[in-house]
């Protein structure tokens, strides 16, 4: 696939000014935006989901799950599992089951503590009853566990069959565990809501592979979404540069740490940029934008953003809008928010919601203005 590089560094200096007033009005290429603060006072929020009644579930990395209603933060939801909070670890993503209206089931990704200060990414299923979680079950736990506070991955996506895609990082170093299919390290896995390997997974018959594995060779995926064909798209953090977007297909190897467009921190080559049998990214960024959160836009509210891919940027405090045609990024716009954007979601009414990852994190709502 053809690679489309980022905008030149000089253009970053001329991106739209950061949000300052409340509400803020921001001119962009296709729409003038109104940006409002829905709620604030969150401690490093990581993921959010919209309840059927309009309230918002939001996770805080330090181990709190809250329900936000009319701009007010509810008391922490009770019934969460033990967490390994520290570094990049803690409570991560939240996703409602596709049948939440009837089964009240949700899923949470988190860093699960193990023996001797080890931990790994895990996923909990539970029912939300009032302000409590019940019928809780850890349906997946990444193996092996490591003594590390980095690169948990943790994004959750549910496909039309009900299977869950879970993104899993390399745990912070170029371990020998990333490439082999016998571990969950640096993988995307696909499991059913009961935790069993999903039918159709590519390595079910391979005795040397984990049955849950969907794809491998990933560094740290913090953005995942489905397109209108039901295909999984992900983005992942490169080292120093080399953040990339992929259409993440069954049995494909996306190369880390054998190939990358990034380099060692402080300079220095890591592997190659291309190699036979390893997938090239659909799009990559040099320098790194530190992407987190991603969704396709399909609602009518933003009429000029149809089928665009929206990506949060932690490093530059931006919402990155990508126009995609025939599986290629043909245009990129940087919209300067001014705060670290951890998650990007589209509300039922078509407005775009952002989470800002800060000590005093906020939920922002974007709507178009005439």
Active site residues: 151
Structure tokens at 294: 């991603």
Structure tokens at 313: 């940027």
What are 133's strand-pairing partners? 128
Burial 13-26 (b: 16+ CB within 10 A, else e): eebbeebeeeebeb
**How far are the Cα atoms of 4, 143, 161, 167, 212 from residue 125, in angstroms, in the given order?**
38, 18, 17, 16, 17
Please provide the DSSP assignment of 289-346 as one string. Answer: --EEEEEE---SSSGGGTT-EEEEETTTTEEEEEEEETTEEEEEEEEE-SS-EEEEEE
The 3-state secondary structure of 196-209, one letter per residue? CECCCCCCCCCCCC
Q: What are phi and psi of 10, to 5 degrees?
A: -60, -30
CB 133 within 8 A of CB 77: yes
CB 326 within 8 A of CB 276: no
**Bridge-based pairing state of the strands 119-129 and 243-247:** unpaired
């Amino acid at each position: 696939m053809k690679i489309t590089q980022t905008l030149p560094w000089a253009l970053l200096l001329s991106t739209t000014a950061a949000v300052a007033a409340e509400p803020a009005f921001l001119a962009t290429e296709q729409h003038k935006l109104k940006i409002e603060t829905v709620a604030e006072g969150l401690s490093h929020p990581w993921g959010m989901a919209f309840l059927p009644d309009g309230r918002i579930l939001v996770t805080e990395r330090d181990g709190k799950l809250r329900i936000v209603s009319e701009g007010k933060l509810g008391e922490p939801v009770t019934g969460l599992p033990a967490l390994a909070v520290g570094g990049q670890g803690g409570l991560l993503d939240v996703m409602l089951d596709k049948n939440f209206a009837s089964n009240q089931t949700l899923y949470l990704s988190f860093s699960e503590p193990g023996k001797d200060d080890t931990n790994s990414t895990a996923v909990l299923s539970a029912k939300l009853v009032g302000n409590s979680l019940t019928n809780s079950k850890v349906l997946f736990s990444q193996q092996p566990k490591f003594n590390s506070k980095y690169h948990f991955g943790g994004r959750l996506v549910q496909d039309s069959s009900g299977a869950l895609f879970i993104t899993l990082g390399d745990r912070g170093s170029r371990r020998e565990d990333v490439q082999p299919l016998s571990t969950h390290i640096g993988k995307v896995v696909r499991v059913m809501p009961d935790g069993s390997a999903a039918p159709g997974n590519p390595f079910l018959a391979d005795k040397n592979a984990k049955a849950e594995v969907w794809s491998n060779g990933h560094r740290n995926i913090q953005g995942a979404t489905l397109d209108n064909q039901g295909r999984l798209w992900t983005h992942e953090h490169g080292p120093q540069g080399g953040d990339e977007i992929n259409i993440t297909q069954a049995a494909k190897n996306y190369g880390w740490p054998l190939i990358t467009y990034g380099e060692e921190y402080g300079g220095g080559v890591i592997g190659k940029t291309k190699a036979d049998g390893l997938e090239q990214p659909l799009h990559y960024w040099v320098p790194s934008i530190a992407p987190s959160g991603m969704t396709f836009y399909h609602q009518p509210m933003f009429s000029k953003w149809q089928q665009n891919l929206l990506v949060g940027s932690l490093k530059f405090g931006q919402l990155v809008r990508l126009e995609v045609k025939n599986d290629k990024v043909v245009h990129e716009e940087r919209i300067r928010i001014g705060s670290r954007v951890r998650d990007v979601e589209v509300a039922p009414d078509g407005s775009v919601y952002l989470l800002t990852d800060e000590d005093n994190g906020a939920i922002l709502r974007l709507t178009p203005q005439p």
